[in-house]
Chains A and B, each alone.
Chain A
């Protein structure tokens, strides 16, 4: 049996999508696959119980029957952390729980994909970091990292050396075009020289960051003021803030693309400018103020959705940044795209055979 831990130098660089896409490739190769995320960190309260979203997505996408409680034996919630600090959690007991669940899940599996959580230090307080999990479950580790500049090699090499013999290799994700040459020419040879296998580098795909306007509506609980005939499918990954004069607004809005405008409901000239700029995909109006109906009419005509939230502009910016930035909009489509990129750009055999 092949146990593969997907871990990363920091949170939010695509562990989930890569873990699930690898599992899919294994399934395509006829392998029986199990999935586990020992520490649940992306918490959302579903039916009263706080659970991680990733195992739910895994169950759905990989068509698994295992119970969520087995796939995610430790819920790494603020309450859990508090209890651990107060000495109410027993590290040995937790380790037993993780191994018990693992044994159940892995019974018939050819491959168990174990998704890590957070960064390399998450779980230290109960001796359950990703590194600890690798030893506990006797897993090989795939280390996911980013590359923008040479300094990104520091944390990557440190983590790789931690895993030692357990390291299957390093996979770069979300690499911008501008950094690709430097990565290939300098960083990869360097890492190989230090005995770190590099299994691939996936380019940054704009379609994989951000989310749809509809996703934002859901995340923010926003009210949609335009009619249903105005699509909320457009993809957004940036924020434009409408806090300038009307004259410079249009210039600034045109310099952005795939952006959502955040502005007070009382700035009709800013709204009108945003409706003229091709790169503004939606208007998000703050402070619970409705725009003039003439603006809504123009938006309807332009096919640009107008959303309204009660919170002020400052708070709204933070919420939208959180929603767009941390890739909280992981969906089946994201996994499909990453699976394609893995097939093209990564050494799958080294991981799955």
Chain B
């Protein structure tokens, strides 16, 4: 680790600003925690005291002669910013602000937080908090928190947006042989945020796994960029709270930030290579196995059990995961036949039957792991009269060490398994009661192995007419509404997404002229930013003969007026009729997420999106492989590929349309949302038939 973050986690000299001897005070708790184990010097700053807990007090950090690497600020909020400025002037690189009463505390606090940020920028300080529990680093015995306990040493580094969660986790982890390298309570993230720590730990040889508890991600796009680099070497597992409506409300009340949509996080964190846990338990399960076990080089898993029922449960769990039950080679089956008694199941899942001692597990496990199709093993054991769990734990550890392959275990017993669990944990082999959890943890290894193999391609840049697009978007500046509809189809044209021939007309004569020019049956649609569901109000006529265009114009306008007399009516669109039966109607859209920026959404039209919510979502910009993967993500993808007698559509054209839209919404952050619905996909290409978007004019002017 380099730079200011090494001052943060590996300081030589730490000053506690606001050190106190008063029982129950935060200033005392931090000083005591630091004095307990820290390898370096601990200095106390308090202008009102001579000494605190036997340490001489300085009036200010700037009064300390030797250079201070880290200042921990616990003074009241009114003077906290001054304390940080003083530390900055004294040349301190890293500051942790424990003090609360900033942005989380209302209007006055927000102003204070801005001042804090400015002070940090002026003096180039790496600042944690404010409103933080503090930081820890086990190699140097640094506990600069006011929490009740120090973390056990290990190689997991942990960041949390909740201080309380830190103390809970350390307490819990201590009983489970999970050790930490660095721990940081992020607080309000005024300066350093999740991306900064991910980047620093990604370069830290002593951090094997990065674990996070997040409520929001400040700059999602930057986090994605950072995390993609980090996760090529170091796994990141994170739990993101605020997934539900009630959870989002609770998170907003905690941080004041919009939690962001669930699908944005899913797309953003997945795109970043972050392994997402949906509960604290699965967060720890993932961190532990990533910390303790090597990565499998395939998806095949062998299950070895002494009990039929639990073996079936483990097999079901494999079915639910992205692992597969390995298909043993003939040699493996032969070897198992030699090692196991009659009545044993020689095929996967291997049942060594109820009278098996630990040695039989060992033989079966060795045989299974020797098979090329087997990348990992799950051992499921129930208590029997002949099975000694401790002996089983030892053979599992031996096999794991001999083969170097990942193993997870399920010991389905109560207190009797404690000693065996300790043996396994010490060797980094996770053990659970529930066989499904053992399988899920192996699935995490597979997931991370796949993430490491990812190659992120740069998005394709197409030759587009950006200025033309800008002038189309700018049209909303001159109107009451910031929404555009089919009248903005040229926007798609400017970015090379095919649109049918057509034009917007403002009179019956012009309608007739436009229809004659097309020379065949046309589609006519009312164009009004105030009428969103055109077809519901009779605002769309298909198959109009050019001879009838004049009358159709009148009736469309009349219907729109009847529906909403004060609607702004831009005109009527006369469009070449496209044979929708010749293809598949898809939806291509974008929605700008506050944290991750523009998201791309693709799905099949009609019930597939609206009822089944079968959509693929990515964070823009999407590269060609990402755009292609969006098709694969859909459950309804076979319908694009000729299922049930449908035409097989031009997939390359769909992929290109996704990429071109990705470029459009990336170029123009002012597009708050955009829907091409439908985008008709046919064997010969794609055509955008309708368009709706919302433009944030202020953003366009920037």
Contact = CB atoms under 8 A, between A and B. Distances in A.
B594 A250 contact: yes
Interface residues of B, number: 47
Nearest to B109: A297
Contacts of A176: 480, 568
A300 B106 contact: yes
Contacts of B565: 148-149, 151
A293 B106 contact: yes
Nearest to B117: A301
Contact of B696 (A226, A254, A271): A254
A45 to B, nearest CB: 33
Given A178-B568, A296-B107, A297-B102, A269 B256 contact: no
B258 A250 contact: yes
Given A227-B108, A250-B594, A251-B673, A295 B256 contact: yes
Interface string B261-276: 1100000000000000
A276 B594 contact: yes
B110 interface: yes
B175 interface: no
B496 to A, nearest CB: 26
Given A176-B480, A246-B248, A268 B253 contact: yes
Contacts of A299: 107, 110, 256
B103 A298 contact: yes
A292 B256 contact: yes
Contacts of B103: 294, 297-298, 300-301
Interface in A317-341: none
A294 B561 CA distance: 46
A80 B631 CA distance: 73
Contacts of A255: 482-483, 672, 694
Interface string A189-232: 00000000000000000100000000000000000011101100
Contacts of B566: 148-149
A235 B511 CA distance: 40
Contacts of A148: 565-566
B252 A268 contact: yes
B482 A257 contact: yes
A42 interface: no
A246 B245 contact: yes
B670 to A, nearest CB: 9
A210 to B, nearest CB: 12
A275 interface: yes
A49 B345 CA distance: 100
Nearest to A249: B258
A290 to B, nearest CB: 9
Contacts of A247: 245, 261-262
Contacts of B173: none
Contacts of B108: 227
A218 B570 CA distance: 38
B257 A298 contact: yes
Interface in A251-300: 251, 254-257, 267-269, 271-273, 275-276, 278-279, 292-300
B366 interface: no
Given A149-B565, A300-B106, A301-B103, A269 B696 contact: no
Interface string B95-139: 000000011111111110110000000000000000000000000
A269 B248 contact: yes
B698 interface: yes
B152 to A, nearest CB: 33
Contacts of A272: 252, 256-259
Contact of A273 (B258, B262, B506, B699): B258
A177 interface: yes
A229 B108 CA distance: 10
B258 A269 contact: yes
B6 interface: no
Interface string A136-150: 000000000000110
Given A176-B480, A177-B478, A227-B107, A294 B697 contact: no
B357 to A, nearest CB: 56
B570 A293 contact: no
Interface string A104-127: 000000000000000000000000
A164 B483 CA distance: 44
Contact of A230 (B107, B109, B114, B480): B107
A245 interface: yes
A279 B254 CA distance: 25
A292 B253 CA distance: 5
B289 to A, nearest CB: 33
A275 B258 CA distance: 9
Contacts of A181: 506
Nearest to B697: A257
Contacts of A151: 565
Interface string B359-393: 00000000000000000000000000000000000
A278 B480 contact: no
A314 B471 CA distance: 40
A279 B107 contact: no
A96 B686 CA distance: 78
B568 A297 contact: no
B468 interface: no
Nearest to A294: B256
A295 B106 CA distance: 7
A293 B258 contact: no
A273 B245 CA distance: 13
B106 A269 contact: no
Given A229-B111, A294-B254, A269 B249 contact: yes
Residue from A229, A245, A247, A292 having most chain B Cβ neighbours under 10 A: A292
Nearest to B102: A297
A55 B506 CA distance: 45
B236 to A, nearest CB: 25
Nearest to A305: B107
Contacts of A293: 104-106, 109
Contact of B252 (A225, A245, A271): A271
Given A254-B672, A254-B673, A255-B482, A294 B696 contact: no
Nearest to A246: B248
A296 B699 contact: no
B431 interface: no
Given A268-B256, A269-B248, A296 B110 contact: yes
B255 interface: yes
A255 B262 CA distance: 21
Nearest to B249: A269
Contact of A294 (B104, B114, B478, B694): B104
A297 B256 contact: yes
Contacts of B697: 257, 278
Nearest to B571: A178
Contacts of B104: 293-294, 297
Contacts of A297: 102-107, 109-110, 113, 256
Contacts of A268: 249, 252-253, 256
A254 B248 CA distance: 19
B529 to A, nearest CB: 10
Nearest to A292: B253
Contacts of A257: 482, 697
Given A251-B673, A269-B245, A225 B253 contact: no
Contacts of A250: 258, 594
Given A227-B111, A278-B698, A298 B569 contact: no
Interface string B216-256: 00000000000000000000000000000100110111111
Given A229-B111, A272-B252, A297-B102, 18 more contacts: A148-B565, A148-B566, A246-B252, A247-B262, A254-B696, A257-B697, A271-B252, A272-B259, A275-B258, A276-B594, A278-B697, A293-B106, A294-B257, A296-B106, A297-B106, A299-B107, A299-B110, A301-B103
22 contacts: A149-B561, A149-B566, A177-B479, A227-B111, A230-B107, A246-B245, A246-B258, A247-B261, A251-B672, A255-B672, A269-B258, A278-B699, A293-B105, A293-B109, A294-B103, A294-B256, A296-B106, A297-B102, A298-B103, A298-B257, A300-B103, A300-B110
